[in-house]
Amino acid sequence: MWLYLVALVGLWMLLRLFRERKVVSDLHNKYVFITGCDSGFGNLLARQLDRRGLRVLAACLTVEGAEQLRSKTSERLETVILDVTKTESIVAATQWVKERVGNRGLWGLVNNAGISVFAVNEWMSKQDFATVLDVNLLGMIEVTLNILPLVRKARGRVVNVSSVMGRLTLVGGGYCVSKYGVEAFSDSLRRELSYFGVKVAIIEPGGFKTNISDVKRLADNVKKLWDQATSEVKEIYGEKYLDSYVKTITSLTDTCSEDLSMVTDCMEHALTACHPRTRYSAGWDAKLFYLPLSYLPTFLLDALYYWNFPKPAQAL
pLDDT in tens, 49-103: 999 999 999 999 999 999 999 999 999 999 999 999 999 999 999 999 999 999 9
The residue extents of the domains of the chain are 24-212+257-297
State residue 72's pLDDT score. 95
Which position among 31, 175, 241, 280 bears the catalytic label?
175
CB of 62 closer than 8 Å to CB of 89:
no
pLDDT higher at 254 or 315: 315
Task: Tell me what the pLDDT averaged over the chain comes to.
Answer: 92
Sequence-distant (6+) residues with CB within 8 A of 42 are 34, 35, 36, 58, 110, 112, 113
Residue 10's pLDDT is what? 72
Residue 292 has pLDDT above 80, yes or no: yes
Closest CA to 141 of 35, 59, 56, 55: 35
Is residue 255 predicted with pLDDT exceeding 90? no
More confident residue, 116 or 10: 116
pLDDT tens readout for residues 9-38: 777 677 777 677 888 888 999 999 999 999
pLDDT band for 302, please (50, 70, 90 cuts): very high
Confidence of residue 133 (pLDDT cuts 50, 70, 90): very high
Q: Is the pLDDT of residue 304 over 80?
A: yes
Decide: helix, strand or coil at residue 109.
strand
- Please report which confidence band the pLDDT of residue 252 belongs to, taking 50, 70 and 90 as the band edges: confident
Active site residue 4: no
Is the model more confident about 113 or about 310? 113
The answer regarding whether domain 24-212+257-297 maps to CATH 3.40.50.720 reads yes
The string over 42-55, giving b where at least 16 C-beta atoms fall within 10 Å of a residue's C-beta and e elsewhere, is: bbbbbbbbbeeebb
